[in-house]
Amino acid sequence: MTITETRPEAAMPPPPAGPVPAATPEGWFATADHKRLGLLYLGAALLFLLVGGILGMVLRTELLSEGSGIAGDEYGRLFSMHVTVSTMLFLAPAWVGIASYVVPLQIGSGRLAFPRLHAFSFWLFLLGGGLLLTSYVVGPPRGLGLVSSVPTPAGKGGGDTATSLMIVSLALVAVAALLAAADLAVTVLKLRTPGLTLRRLPMLSWAILTSSLVTVLATPVFLAGLALFYMDQRFGGALFAAATLGSRSVWRHTLWLYGRPDVYLLLLPGLGAGCDIVATHARRPLVSPAAGRAAIVAFAFLSLGAWASGSGVGDAILLPTYSPLTALVVLPVGVLVLLWLATMAAGHRHLHTALLFVAGFVLLAAFGALNAAIAAAAKVDGTAWTTGHLHVVAFGAPTLLLLAAIVHWAPKLFGRELAPGAARIGFLGVFGGFFLMGLGSYLLGYDGAPSRTSDFDFSSDASTFSTLSTLGAVVLLLGLLAFVAEMIRAARSLAPPGPADPYQGLTLEWATSSPPPPHSFDSVPEVRSAHPLLDLRLAAEQGAPSAGGER
């Protein structure tokens, strides 16, 4: 008895001929195309950002006056929901969206390794995100969620629906992230076009590979913690009761071992994107790409190692500290910024809007680092300083890099560039908003105002600082709205699509049309260096017939 069939992987479908099929709602629902999945991820993430932003505005409004409606645990829960939505439902999935769209193009594959699994991960993420918001509507959940290092024991008679729903929704989002990360890692490792070795990988793809591998290792730790948390809530085994010895450290470690790298992973893809953006607009390869790759790997390694930096692992999941081990992450970021500056100095001088966002990231990160240095000498534990640092370093700086990536790859994502004027207004709003919010919260912290509380001494300078922070939030929201409105305009524009390669790009995503066809590439390109399009242009200038050699 023999088995004679061709191995299914060898049967690659030919690119579809004829006109591009119209985008129907059914088509979007059942799609496994990496480009559509990328846009779906990005769109959903922006929707959740809107929710997170509204929650943030409610919190800031509460801090404007004394003794208004939201106080105590209610304020804490809202704060927790704001943090959870803004990080787990916005930044991380938005990067998955960018990666899903751009990485298969950058590696010349034009498809994902497990497209159906990727589609499943998106719908799982959407379901999880929806359930997380629902949990607050039907609840609200007990405890302070992810921002608390103290686990929430089950109440009398077992857990309530809202808390159980919150835990399940977080598990769904985490599983979705795990599946998407695994798919992206396999895509980069196995589907690269011939000649595109790991050393020649574009920096965004390298950063996505690195962050995906860390996600694959760290997320199950979080899932195990959530499983215990859920069972404790559901069955009431008193695992997280205050009297149970060792249980708090179990929760802190599971939360921390996921939360620490997760905070860093919100920035890691952005660092890779920053490298590609700078190199593209400088119209030359990054100065020392090997150093860039090493810095990205070091950043990922430190993100896992930073688990040990928490004082007794007693801090909350999203609380950046300034311990020596954490401070080490400044080094790889510093190396990358120096590489960017050197590349810009050696290359074409042209301030594209995407570079403006990258510059904004550098300034905001420097602002955060400066305040971290000040905080090392001042006592700011448990003060509003932490809120400011979260907004500046853990959320603001990565968001600027995300928006830089959207501006940079807009020709591929939407078929045309974003209007520079609108994008720059968005930049001013986002950068200025984060800066003012951070400044207000830092000053509040130095003034001794506590963190995560709805009321403080309004007779002091704190009131002025709080108003400054609220002003920043308003500016930020307006900036984001302007940016998203421009994205929608570009996506829905009826004008003819823009050029395939508006920047004289270096990497393969610029070798296909804008937006790419459903099959991404008309032919699978062969690569002989890290920047095949530059080689091709140089060869054309010199009259050579094909791409250049090794660099």
Partner 1 sequence: MSDAPLALTTGGAERPQNVMPLGMALMVSSGTMLFGTLIAAYLRLRTAGGTWPPKGVVFDEYLGNMLVLTMLLSVLPVEWACHAQRRNLRSQAATALGVAIGFGVAFLNLLSYSAGRTDFDAASHPYGLIVTALCMMLGIAVAVGVGMVTLTLFRVAGRQLTVGTDHLRTTAWYWHFTVGASVAVWYTVVVLK
Window 372-391: residues binding partner 1 (CB under 8 A): none
Long-range contacts (CB closer than 8 Å, 24 or more residues apart) made by 490-499: 490/410, 490/414, 490/415, 490/416, 490/417, 490/418, 490/419, 491/413, 491/414, 491/415, 493/414, 493/415, 493/416, 495/416, 497/415, 497/416, 498/411, 498/415, 498/416, 498/417, 499/411
CB of 70 vs partner 1, minimal distance in Å: 34
> Among residue numbers 494 through 533, which ones bind partner 1 (CB under 8 A)?
499-504, 510-513, 522-527, 532-533
- Contacting partner 1 (CB under 8 A), which of 33, 160, 232, 486? 232
- Contacting partner 1 (CB under 8 A), which of 61, 134, 244, 288? 244
* Structural contact between residues 416 and 493, judged by C-beta atoms closer than 8 angstroms: yes
Handedness of CA 225, 230, 232, 233 (dihedral sign): positive
How many Cβ atoms sit within 10 Å of the Cβ of residue 30? 11
CB of 216 vs partner 1, minimal distance in Å: 5
In 227-263, which positions are buried (b, 16+ CB within 10 angstroms) versus exposed (e)? ebbbebbeebeebbeeeeeebbebbbebbbbbbbbbb
- Contacting partner 1 (CB under 8 A), which of 127, 250, 297, 327? 250
If binding is defined by CB under 8 A, does position 5 make contact with partner 1?
yes
Closer CB to partner 1, 228 or 437, in the complex: 228
Backbone angles phi, psi at 383, to 5 degrees: -100, 180
| Options 214-222, 296-304, 323-331, 466-474: segment touching partner 1 (CB under 8 A) | 214-222
If binding is defined by CB under 8 A, does position 130 make contact with partner 1?
no
How far is residue 20's CA from residue 2's CA, in Å, rounded to a whole number? 42
CB of 14 vs partner 1, minimal distance in Å: 10
If binding is defined by CB under 8 A, does position 337 make contact with partner 1?
no
* Number of residues binding to partner 1, judged by CB under 8 A: 77
Instruction: State the virtual CA torsion across 500, 503, 508, 509 in degrees, nearest 10.
Output: -60
If binding is defined by CB under 8 A, does position 542 make contact with partner 1?
no
If binding is defined by CB under 8 A, does position 193 make contact with partner 1?
yes
Q: Which residues contact 458 (CB under 8 A, 6 or more apart)?
A: 65, 66
| Options 21-29, 226-234, 260-268, 317-325: segment touching partner 1 (CB under 8 A) | 226-234
If binding is defined by CB under 8 A, does position 221 make contact with partner 1?
yes
DSSP 8-state symbol, 512 = S
| Options 59-67, 80-88, 180-188, 341-349: segment touching partner 1 (CB under 8 A) | 180-188
Handedness of CA 254, 260, 264, 266 (dihedral sign): positive
CB of 199 vs partner 1, minimal distance in Å: 18
Q: Which two tokens stand for residue 551?
A: 């660099």
- Contacting partner 1 (CB under 8 A), which of 186, 342, 478, 491? 186
How far does CA 3 lie from the centroid of its chain?
Answer: 46
How far does CA 334 lie from the centroid of its chain?
Answer: 20
If binding is defined by CB under 8 A, does position 417 make contact with partner 1?
no
- Contacting partner 1 (CB under 8 A), which of 182, 384, 392, 393? 182
For the chain, how many residues are written?
551
Closer CB to partner 1, 118 or 293, in the complex: 118
- Contacting partner 1 (CB under 8 A), which of 51, 88, 209, 536? 536
- Contacting partner 1 (CB under 8 A), which of 119, 147, 178, 490? 178
Closer CB to partner 1, 256 or 340, in the complex: 256
Closer CB to partner 1, 355 or 462, in the complex: 355
Closer CB to partner 1, 33 or 501, in the complex: 501
> Among residue numbers 23 through 82, which ones bind partner 1 (CB under 8 A)?
none
If binding is defined by CB under 8 A, does position 147 make contact with partner 1?
no
SS (H, E, C) 466-478: HHHHHHHHHHHHH
CB of 253 vs partner 1, minimal distance in Å: 8
268-282 and 330-346 helices cross at what angle (nearest 10)? Answer: 10
If binding is defined by CB under 8 A, does position 546 make contact with partner 1?
yes
